[in-house]
Chains A and B, each alone.
Chain A
Amino acid sequence: MRILCCVKRVPAPGAKINVTDDGLAVDASHLGFATSPHEECGVEEAVQITERHGGEVTVLTLGPPEAADQLRYAASVGAHHGVLVATDGSAWDPQRTAVALTDAIRGLEAADGPFDLLVFGNESADSGGFQVGVRVAYALGRPIVNGVKGIEVDTEAGGGVVRARREIDGGFEVYELPMPAAVGVKEGINLPRYPTMRGRLASKKLEIAEQGSDAEPGGQSLVRLHRPRETVTETVILGNSPEAAPAVVDVLEELGVV
């Protein structure tokens, strides 16, 4: 199995998200950066699939040179190769990002053969455009399903299929995608492992293939980020001990939910 996993470097969210003075980015000076959660699970899933079926995982990211940290993190939990499409660090719109990733994947496939599976996060934790994976999969002619919280690869069934599970209210749906395929995964598909010491050491040696992109900006551009107006709530304190229970039940009765 050759699996490609796309990840995004995002600020690690804390209690509050602050914006830089120019309003063009999240002030991450106190937050640090991480891999967007859905994609962290995507890497774990890809590694688990290769542990069961053999093969290799390539992790691809588009971002500033520092996004190499996220590729090294992926290597520390089992990914084999890392590719960085370097930007100047400005926010790229979804169309431009998708074109750049599509070009990069085409290049990788031309050099080393097609990927059996492309793994995307359902949406990035920060800008949340909900479209990059779908655009890339469409451009490459691969079937894609989003919202995936379970993957089973069956290499025996006619040319290979990916059975994907997606949560619905009170149950799940099953999709069966012919390989080569693509999925947009969500957190909860697995519980990502922590890097081992050995993994950390190996990740230091990861050779990162760096390339640029001449993708043109799309139709959407960022003007300004700002925090939503906070509604001030007057919190009524019902008590400071279990003695507050009758007051709580009064509230529940008033709302008609008892």
Chain B
Amino acid sequence: MLLVVLEHDRGAMDEAAREALTFGRKLAAQMGAPLHAALIGADDAELVSEAGAFGAEAVYTAVHDVLSDFGPEAWGEAAAEMIRQLNPGAVLAGGSERGNEIMAQVAARLDLPMVANCLEVDLNGGAGEWAITRQQWGGSLLEDARLVSERPLLTSGLHTLAAEQAEAAVEAVAQAVEVDLDPSLARTVVKDRVVLEAGVTLSTAPVVIGGGRGVGSPEAFAPLEELAAMLGGRVGCSRAVTNNGWRPHSDQVGQTGTRITPEIYIASGISGAIQHWVGAKASKRILAINIDPEANMVVKADWAVIADLHEVIPAITEEIKRRRA
């Protein structure tokens, strides 16, 4: 059995979990094994049936007092306990921040190797030796790795494949698993949550207006803000901008910031260094605005305007206003 540990936040399935189920379906077929899933801290029928739509035949659920909210140690121990009881041939999670963290907790507890952010996994004939291609440098570089393990613990590279439901949905069978968890694991469970803004966020925005060093100052982001607001999107920025203190780090798109997935990313005054590209490349379309026609961002974009962003962005805003009037 291939076991996919499903990431969810208070009962809402994360896109990374759907990606892991999609990745896992192919891996399970290669292993000649059924695809099963593990739900930690939830047993909602909706989550179970969604896992079934992605091809999971069985969904094991673990519900316990210390799993009332996310906690890396409690989730890790719950997953490790399910693995001890269920003996899966391999375990997979989505390569999100939480997904990688849970799997690391599992790996530490079971003292097994863990391979993060995999793109391809090959059974190699199934003699306990696996050939894996995984991401380094946020995906700017790939590593072919050899894994020797009786039970591979893997995560799938975030946003490296599109989540797709199974051709034939399966009626997933839910099955509760008793996990005996020490109350002390509550020491790393979320204590409180603070919501700063409701609505669209950088990682979910359908439109992102990015600004780089070329914007020039914190104040010069105002036209980008106006355009973003008009399109129901968000402003993002490069590492140079946050390092200059022009924008908060939470606006940074990049390897050390947010990975965005908008319908269109309008990157203005951004050269497109590796660090930024890693966060931008999952955008469905990219439009670059730059005075340098050779800029990496321009070369990689679907469309480009080779001109000063300080003139182009307001002109776009005006054109939209004109058409809406």
Total count of chain B residues near the partner, CB < 8 A: 98
Using known A-B contacts A233-B300, A235-B304, A252-B264, determine if residue A224 contacts B203 with beta carbons closer than 8 Å.
no
Contacting pair B264 A257 (CB below 8 A): yes
Q: Whose C-beta in chain B lies nearest to the C-beta of A98? A: B108
Chain B residues with Cβ below 8 Å from A37 are 256
Scoring B100, B108, B189, B194 by chain A CB atoms within 10 A of each residue's CB, the highest score goes to: B108
Residues of A within 8 A of B194 (CB): 171-174
Q: Is A240 an interface residue (CB 8 A)?
A: yes
Residues A248 and B196 in contact, CB atoms below 8 Å apart: no
**A130-B100, A219-B113, A255-B264 are known contacts. Are A187 and B188 too (CB-CB below 8 A)?**
no
Across-interface contacts of B250 in A (CB, < 8 A): 167, 188
A56 interface residue (CB < 8 Å to B) = no
B-side binding surface: helix, strand, loop or mixed? mixed
B192 touches A (CB below 8 Å): yes
Mark each residue of chain A from 55 to 99: 1 if its CB lies under 8 Å from any CB of chain B, else 0: 000000000000000000000000000000000000001110010
Query: Which of the 9-residue segments A1-9, A14-22, A197-205 touches chain B?
Result: A14-22
Which residues of B from 129 to 183 have beta carbons under 8 Å from A? Answer: 131, 135-149, 155
Q: How far is the CA of A178 from the CA of B197 in the complex (A)?
A: 29
Residue-wise, chain B 224-262 has the 8 Å CB interface mask toward A (1 for contact) of 000000011100000000110100111010011100000
A188-B249, A219-B148, A238-B304 in contact; A173/B193 too (CB < 8 A)? yes
Of the stretches B29-37, B59-67, B82-90, B316-324, the one at the interface is B316-324
* Contact A220:B256 (CB < 8 A) given known A134-B108, A191-B243, A233-B301: no
The B-contacting residues of A in range 225-258, CB under 8 angstroms, are 225-228, 233, 235-246, 248-249, 251-252, 255-258
Chain B 290-325: CB-based contact to A (< 8 A → 1; otherwise 0):
000100101111111111000110111011100100
Flag whether B125 is at the interface (Cβ < 8 A): no
* Contact of B263 with A188 in the complex, beta carbons under 8 Å: no
Among A45-53, A106-114, A142-150, the stretch that binds chain B is A142-150
- B68 is an interface residue with CB less than 8 A from chain A: no
Which of B97, B103, B302, B319 touches A233 (beta carbons < 8 Å)? B302
Quick check: is B190 within 8 A (CB to CB) of the other chain? Answer: yes
Known: A131-B100, A170-B201, A225-B141. A251 touches B287 (CB 8 A): yes
User: In the complex the two chains form, is B231's CB within 8 Å of A257's CB?
Assistant: yes
Q: Are B300 and A245 in contact (CB under 8 A)?
A: no
Q: Is there an interface contact between B302 and A174, defined as CB atoms closer than 8 Å?
A: no
Tell me the smallest distance from the CB of A177 to a CB of chain B, in Å: 6
- List 10 interface pairs A-B (beta carbons < 8 Å), by A numbering: A26-B141, A95-B113, A130-B155, A135-B107, A172-B194, A175-B189, A225-B136, A235-B304, A242-B307, A249-B319
Given contacts A15-B274, A237-B293, 8 further A-B contacts (CB under 8 A): A135-B107, A135-B108, A147-B101, A149-B249, A171-B194, A235-B304, A238-B287, A241-B311
User: Interface on B for A, CB 8 Å cutoff?
Assistant: 9, 70, 72-73, 95, 97-98, 100-101, 103-105, 107-109, 112-117, 131, 135-149, 155, 187-199, 201, 203-204, 206-207, 231-233, 242-243, 245, 248-250, 252, 255-257, 263-264, 273-275, 285, 287-288, 293, 296, 298-307, 311-312, 314-316, 318-320, 323
Interface of A with B (CB < 8 Å)?
A: 13-17, 19, 26, 37-38, 93-95, 98, 122-123, 125-131, 133-135, 137-139, 143-147, 149, 167-178, 184, 186-188, 191, 218-228, 233, 235-246, 248-249, 251-252, 255-258
